[in-house]
């Protein structure tokens, strides 16, 4: 598998390129003041009033929440008759109890955790909006320049950091090894969080580790590490990462509210093709300054829900995550509304 030298040079050349797949939470919460907020406010293109206009959304400090921040900034929630209070969470699963007990109406969560919960029957919820899709440069295996690691075969017998056991990071490494005819069990997987992986590599605790933005870029800048192996490629190309979910109970009781929320988010995610607009929300989401944000690699942001795409996450879990449940992504996905 080819190394990342050309991709790294390209990123430094096009320093205006923006993106943020990060694991850090937002510094604080924010509220969109969009009108009176009384139940029954009219939503734009909704065909009638929404059932609930004051809603609370739990987000992550990751690229999967870019749509929410753009919808807030540009008034798309307000246009749909929604007053949205945004609450940050460090990890998506932390928001699940608040979602279940009604403190949150919607929440951003990584798909691996979501489908694991669905399979375990500990969560009755559906994906409302597909949040972000990884690209081949927004996640990668990092190592020291003199590590000797350049291909999947070079990972045999090595210690690799993977954020958490059975996380997307681990599944992507396992799939990459399998794609390159390497035994996925020939690597030692160590659960070390993204922010701590650079130090673990430098100390020798790890030989390599999976990184996402902004840690991918900051580990290059501050720690001298480099991306050595692509993990968003081949069978894992364009892999969905996170989505906005709501409980089935809330969806059934508030169909117009859900459709209005979807329209606001998908409108915002169309805006996310404009890097200048994404740049306006990246620093708050990623926790880095504007100059560093300009070096980060950007995910892509779907403008419609595609069950075939999300089925790939389930397939990945079944192949490498020990999932035995036969889930159909379409059964856990709210269709895209008329825009």
**Predicted confidence pLDDT, tens digits, the chain (339 residues):** 444 543 443 343 233 233 333 333 343 344 333 333 334 555 555 457 999 999 999 999 989 999 999 999 999 999 999 999 999 998 878 899 999 999 999 999 999 999 999 999 999 999 999 999 999 999 999 999 999 999 999 999 999 999 999 999 999 999 999 999 999 999 999 999 999 999 999 999 999 999 999 899 999 999 999 999 999 999 999 999 999 999 999 999 999 999 999 999 999 999 999 988 988 898 998 888 888 888 889 999 999 999 999 999 999 999 999 999 999 999 999 999 998
User: Residue 132's CB: how many other CB atoms inside 10 A?
Assistant: 27
Same domain, 102 and 229: no
Residue 301's Cβ-count burial label (10 Å; 0-12, 13-18, 19+) is buried
In a domain, 326, yes or no: yes
Same domain, 167 and 126: no
Same domain, 246 and 126: yes
Please, are residues 142 and 208 in contact by the beta-carbon 8 Å criterion?
yes
In a domain, 20, yes or no: no
User: Residue 48's CB: how many other CB atoms inside 10 A?
Assistant: 10
Same domain, 272 and 246: yes
Please, are residues 106 and 246 in contact by the beta-carbon 8 Å criterion?
yes
The domain that holds 144 is classified in CATH as 3.40.190.10
Closest CA to 171 of 179, 332, 222: 179
Same domain, 151 and 232: yes
What element of type H or E holds 67? helix 66-73
The pTM of the full predicted model, rounded to 2 decimals, is: 0.86
User: Residue 338's CB: how many other CB atoms inside 10 A?
Assistant: 8
Among 216, 236, 256, identify where a domain stops: 236
In a domain, 261, yes or no: yes
In a domain, 58, yes or no: yes
Please, are residues 160 and 190 in contact by the beta-carbon 8 Å criterion?
yes
Same domain, 282 and 231: no
- What does the H/E/C string look like for 73-94? HCCHHHHCCCEEEEEEECCHHH
Same domain, 34 and 112: yes
Residue carrying the six token digits 């902004």: 214
Give the tokens for residue 142.
């990092």
Among 174, 202, 236, identify where a domain stops: 236
In a domain, 111, yes or no: yes
Same domain, 98 and 52: yes
Among 178, 207, 236, identify where a domain stops: 236
Cα three-residue angle 145-285-140, rounded to 5 degrees: 25
What element of type H or E holds 57? strand 54-60
Same domain, 256 and 199: no
Same domain, 130 and 36: yes
Same domain, 174 and 191: yes
In a domain, 119, yes or no: yes
Rounded Cα distance, 23 and 11, in Å? 21
Q: Into how many domains does the chain fold?
A: 2
In a domain, 247, yes or no: yes
Give the domain extent around 178.
136-236
Same domain, 127 and 245: yes
In a domain, 10, yes or no: no
């Amino acid at each position: 598998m080819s190394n990342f030298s050309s991709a790294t040079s390209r990123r430094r050349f096009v320093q205006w390129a923006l993106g943020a797949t990060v694991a850090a939470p937002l510094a604080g919460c924010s509220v969109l003041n969009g009108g009176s907020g009384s139940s029954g406010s009219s939503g734009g293109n909704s065909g009638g009033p929404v059932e609930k206009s004051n809603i609370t959304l739990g987000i992550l400090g990751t690229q999967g929440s870019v749509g929410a921040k753009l919808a807030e900034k540009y008034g798309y929630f307000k246009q749909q008759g929604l007053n949205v209070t945004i609450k940050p969470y460090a990890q998506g699963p932390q928001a699940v109890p608040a979602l279940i007990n009604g403190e949150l109406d919607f929440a951003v969560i990584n798909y691996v955790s979501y489908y694991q919960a669905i399979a375990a029957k500990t969560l009755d919820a559906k994906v409302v909006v597909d949040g972000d899709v990884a690209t081949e440069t927004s996640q990668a295996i990092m190592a020291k320049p003199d590590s000797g690691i350049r291909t999947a075969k070079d990972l045999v017998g090595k210690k690799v950091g993977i954020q958490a056991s059975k996380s997307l990071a681990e599944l992507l490494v396992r799939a990459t090894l399998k794609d390159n005819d390497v035994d996925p069990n020939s690597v030692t997987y160590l659960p070390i969080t993204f922010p701590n992986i650079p130090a673990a590599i430098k100390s020798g605790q790890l030989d390599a580790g999976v990184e996402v933005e902004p840690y991918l870029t900051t580990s290059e800048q501050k720690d001298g590490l480099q991306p050595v192996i692509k993990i968003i490629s081949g069978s894992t190309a364009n892999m969905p990462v996170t989505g906005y979910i709501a409980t089935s109970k809330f969806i059934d009781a508030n169909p117009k509210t859900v459709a209005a929320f979807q329209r606001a988010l998908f409108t915002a995610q169309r805006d996310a093709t404009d890097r200048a607009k994404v740049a306006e929300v990246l620093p708050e989401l990623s926790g880095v300054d504007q100059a560093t944000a300009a070096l980060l690699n950007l995910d892509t942001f779907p403008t419609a829900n595609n069950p075939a795409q999300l089925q790939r996450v389930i397939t990945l879990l079944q192949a490498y995550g020990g999932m035995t449940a036969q889930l159909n992504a379409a059964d856990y996905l709210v269709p895209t509304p008329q825009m």
